[in-house]
Amino acid sequence: MSHDEFPTDEPAVVTCGLPYANGDLHIGHLRGYIGADAFNRALETLGQDSIYVCGSDMHGTPVAVNAEQQGVDPEDFALEWHEQYEETFPKFNVDFDNYGHTHDETNTELTQEIVRTLDDEGYIYEKEIQVAYDPEADQYLPDRYVEGTCPYCGAKARGDECDEGCQRHLEPGEVEDPTSTITGNPAEYRERSHKFFEVSEFTDFLTEFLDGLEGTSNARNQPRQWIEDGLQDWCITRDMDWGIDYPSDETADGDDLVLYVWVDAPIEYISSTKQYSERVGADEYDWEQVWTGDGEIMHIIGRDIIQHHAIFWPAMLEGAGYNKPRGIAATGFITINGKGLSTSRNRAIWAKEYLEEGFHPDLLRYYLTTTGGLQQDVDFSWDAFQEKVNGELVGTVGNFWYRSLLFAYRNYEGTPETDVSEEVRERIEGAIGDVRESVNDYSMRGVGQAATQLAQFGNEYIQRNEPWKLTDDEPERAAQVIRDCVQLAKAVGVLLEPITPDKSQDLWAQIGEDGDVADAHLEDALEAPPRSFDEPGELFEKIEDDRVVELTEKLEERVDAATDGDDETDDAAETESDDTAGDESGGMTDTDDLEALADDRIGFDDFQDLDIRVGRIETAEGIEGADDLARLEVDIGFETRQIVAGIKQLHDLEELPGTKCVLLANMEKAELFGVESNGMILAAGEEADLLTTHGDAAVGEKIK
C-alpha cells in the first residue's frame, strides 16, 4: 500500500514518544521533540492540516521507583515533572497543540474503553505466569523492580526490556537470574494470574502493515525480524498500585491489577488529540476523523521503543477498530564528545543548562536536526556546535540575510521595484521541490540543507554580480540583483522556519512582512516582499573560541565530579541514569562503558602479521596459586598448544573442553606462574566472552 504524497486532504497528527515524568530533560530528549516539532511545522508549510500532540508518561515503574526513593506519592511526583516539562518545551520552540498526561481523565477513560473493546472482541485472556517476588520486601517485582539476564542475548537486562543488549521487550518471568532492585536480593518466581493481549493473532495484519509503513527503515526491518521469530502474546497487567486499573473484574487471584504502562502510554496520543479537538471544536479539527477515519498519523520515537510502536500499538489499534499510523520514524541516540550520554555520570547537556548559558534555542534546533540523518546517532560537542553555528548559521544564512537586506535598505529603503529574475525564481522553485521531497522522506536534515544551500547560492549570487559596482553606471541591473537577493532572503526564511522558527520570524519582520512566518506556505517563498522596510540587524552571533573552551571544561569537570574521576566503574548509579526518561525519546546509549575506538590506523600488512587461528579447547584447569589463571590445551590443527588465560573466575572450566575458540598463534611465549603460555585466546570485554566462529570453520583455519 502506498500513500498519497503530503499534503493530503486528510487531517494529520504528529506525535513524539512520551517523556517519563521522572527527571530533567536533556538534549537526548530534545532531539526527538524538536525533530517532531520541525516535522509538523514542515508539513504545515506544505499546506497539510497537521497538529503536534504529546503528553507526560506518568505511570510505570520508572516513576514509581523514583517516587518511592524520594518518599513521595507517585502522582505528586509525576505531576511536578509534568508541569516542568510543560514549561520547558516552549522554551525550545517545541509547540505542542496539546500536551496532556497519561493519568488525566481523558486518557484513563479512553484506555479502559479500548481494553474493554479488546476484551469484548476476544483478544484478551487470562493466564497463570511466573512473576518475580521479593520475600524480604514482601512485594511482587514488575518491570524495573527486577533485573537479570536477557534470555535471548545474555546481556544484563531490566525486567521488561533488554536495554543493554538486543533491545527486545521482555515479558514478566522471562528475565533470568532475577534480582530485586528494592533489596538487591535474588528474587523468587511465584505463580500469578495475569491478562494477556493476543498479539500473535495479528501476525498477518502486522506483516501487511509494515509493508505500507513510512518513516525510517529500522522501524520496519526490526519488527519484520521479530515477526519471523514468532510473536508472543503480551502480558498487559502488573501487580502494583500505580497505574490505570484494569477495567473489569478481578483476576482469579482476587487482586486488583493495573495496566502495563505500555498500554496506556500510546493511547495518550489519541487522548491528547481528542483534548485538542474538544478545545478547538470538531469543525476545525476532528480527532475521530484522524483516529477512526483516514487521518494521517505519524509517530517520531527513539529507536529503543520500536517494538512498542510497530508491533503492540498497531495490533491494539487494529483490534479495537482504530486507524493505524502512516509513518514511524525512529531516531538514533545522542552521544556527548563521542561517548554515550549518561545522566548518572552527568555527561549530558541539560535543557536548563543550555538556556542558562544564553544560547538561542534555534541554534540547538538547527544543530540537532541537520547534523545527522534521523536514524543516525548524533554526537554533540561544544566544538562541533560552534562549527555548525558559525559556519552555516552565521557564515552562510545570517551573512546572506544581513548583507543583502542592509544593501537594499541603504540604496532602496527596502525592496527595489522590479520583478524577480527568471534564474532566481527557478532556483527558489528548486529549493521548494527539495523541501517537499525531504518532508515526504521524513528528512528534516534535507529541509535544513535545502534552505542553507539556497542561502549559499544567495551569497555566490551577490558576489558574482557585485551590485555595489553597478549602482552608479547600471542602476537597473543593480536593482535587479538586490531585488533577487531580497526574494532569496525571504525564501530562506520561509524554508528554514520549521527548524529556526524565531529567527525566521525575525527575518520576516525585517523585510516588512506582517503576521507570522509560521503561517506561510512554501509557495509564499516566491511572493514579492513588501516595498519598504527598516534598517536590518544581524540575526546570528558568532560563538567565540574561549566560550567553547570554557563550556568544554565545565562539562569535563562535571563528569569528573560525578564519577569521582573514575569514568568506567560507576555501575551503582546506572539504574538512576536509565530511568530518567531518556529511553522514551531516544535519550541514551550505553557506549560509555566501552573503550574508545583507536585513532591510529594500521596497514593490511600489519594485520597479516597476526597469525590468528581457529582452535578447539581440549582441556581446561585452574592454575594453583593463581586466582584468575587457567591452563588450557588447545588443538590448533597442526599441534596442541598449552595456553594460559585469565578466565578462571569468569568461566566454568569444566564446560570449556570441546569449545571452539579463536587465538593469536604467534603471540610471544610467556611464563605465568611457572606455566608456559604458547599463544593467546581472544575474548571480548570484562567478562572474557570467548570468541568463536559463526559457521563451521575447521580447527587450524586462519582468520583473515
Q: Residues 150, 261, 378, 645: which binds Zn ion (CB under 5 A)?
A: 150
Q: How would you class 613 by CB atoms within 10 Å of its CB: exposed for 0-12, middle for 13-18, buried for 19 or more?
A: buried
Binding segment for Zn ion among 10-18, 159-167, 503-511, 597-605 (CB under 5 A)?
159-167
Helix (H) or strand (E) holding 178: strand 176-180
CA–CA gap between residue 34 and residue 53 (Å, rounded): 13
- Least Cβ distance, residue 307 to Zn ion (angstroms): 12
CA–CA gap between residue 421 and residue 36 (Å, rounded): 36
Query: Considering only residues 467-526, where is the footprint of Zn ion by CB under 5 A?
Result: none
With contact defined as beta carbons under 8 Å apart, do 190 and 302 qualify? no
Binding segment for Zn ion among 81-89, 165-173, 396-404, 426-434 (CB under 5 A)?
165-173
Bridge-based pairing state of the strands 339-340 and 334-336: antiparallel
Around Cβ 538, how many Cβ atoms within 10 Å? Answer: 14
Binding segment for Zn ion among 77-85, 113-121, 162-170, 533-541 (CB under 5 A)?
162-170
Residue 340 pairs in a beta bridge with 335
Describe the strand order of the beta sheet including 612-622 as a list of residue ranges. 640-645, 630-635, 612-622, 660-664, 680-681
Which C-beta is closer to Zn ion: that of 47 or that of 685? 685
**Helices marked H in 281-331:** 287-291, 306-307, 313-320
- Least Cβ distance, residue 151 to Zn ion (angstroms): 8
Which C-beta is closer to Zn ion: that of 167 or that of 396? 167
Which C-beta is closer to Zn ion: that of 94 or that of 150? 150
Which C-beta is closer to Zn ion: that of 152 or that of 205? 152
Which C-beta is closer to Zn ion: that of 42 or that of 150? 150
Q: How many residues bind Zn ion (CB under 5 A)?
A: 7
Bridge-based pairing state of the strands 50-56 and 98-101: parallel
C-alpha cell at 66: 523514583
- Least Cβ distance, residue 684 to Zn ion (angstroms): 16
3 state SS of 167: coil
Contact between 632 and Zn ion per CB under 5 A:
no
Q: Residues 166, 384, 682, 699: which binds Zn ion (CB under 5 A)?
A: 166
Q: Which region holds residue 143: left if phi is over 0, alpha if psi is between -120 and 50, else beta?
A: left
Which C-beta is closer to Zn ion: that of 155 or that of 509? 155
- Least Cβ distance, residue 266 to Zn ion (angstroms): 23
Which C-beta is closer to Zn ion: that of 165 or that of 646? 165
Q: Which region holds residue 460: left if phi is over 0, alpha if psi is between -120 and 50, else beta?
A: alpha
- Least Cβ distance, residue 153 to Zn ion (angstroms): 3
- Least Cβ distance, residue 170 to Zn ion (angstroms): 8
Contact between 165 and Zn ion per CB under 5 A:
yes
Around Cβ 688, how many Cβ atoms within 10 Å? Answer: 17
Binding segment for Zn ion among 89-97, 156-164, 639-647, 668-676 (CB under 5 A)?
156-164
Q: Residues 5, 105, 127, 153: which binds Zn ion (CB under 5 A)?
A: 153
- Least Cβ distance, residue 423 to Zn ion (angstroms): 57
Binding segment for Zn ion among 45-53, 153-161, 486-494, 646-654 (CB under 5 A)?
153-161
Contact between 170 and Zn ion per CB under 5 A:
no
What's the CA dihedral at 334, 336, 342, 345 to 10 degrees?
-170
- Least Cβ distance, residue 378 to Zn ion (angstroms): 25
Each as own residue / partner, the long-range contacts of residues 608-613 (CB below 8 Å, 24 or more positions apart, any chain) are 608/704, 609/666, 610/664, 610/666, 611/664, 611/665, 611/666, 611/702, 612/662, 612/663, 612/664, 612/665, 612/682, 612/702, 612/703, 612/704, 613/637, 613/662, 613/663, 613/665, 613/700, 613/701, 613/702, 613/703
- Least Cβ distance, residue 428 to Zn ion (angstroms): 50
Describe the strand order of the beta sheet including 188-197 as a list of residue ranges. 139-140, 124-134, 188-197, 234-235
**Helices marked H in 196-260:** 203-211, 218-229
Which C-beta is closer to Zn ion: that of 165 or that of 637? 165
Which C-beta is closer to Zn ion: that of 169 or that of 436? 169
Query: Considering only residues 331-390, where is the footprint of Zn ion by CB under 5 A?
Result: none
Residue 176 pairs in a beta bridge with 149
Q: Residues 53, 131, 162, 548: which binds Zn ion (CB under 5 A)?
A: 162
Binding segment for Zn ion among 163-171, 405-413, 482-490, 674-682 (CB under 5 A)?
163-171
CA–CA gap between residue 47 and residue 654 (Å, rounded): 69
- Least Cβ distance, residue 166 to Zn ion (angstroms): 3
Q: Residues 95, 152, 576, 675: which binds Zn ion (CB under 5 A)?
A: 152
Which C-beta is closer to Zn ion: that of 139 or that of 149? 149
Which C-beta is closer to Zn ion: that of 229 or that of 624? 229
C-alpha cell at 288: 475521530
Spatial CA neighbour of 271 closest among 87, 48, 103: 103
Which C-beta is closer to Zn ion: that of 155 or that of 626? 155
Residues found near Zn ion in the complex (CB under 5 A)? 150, 152-153, 155, 162, 165-166
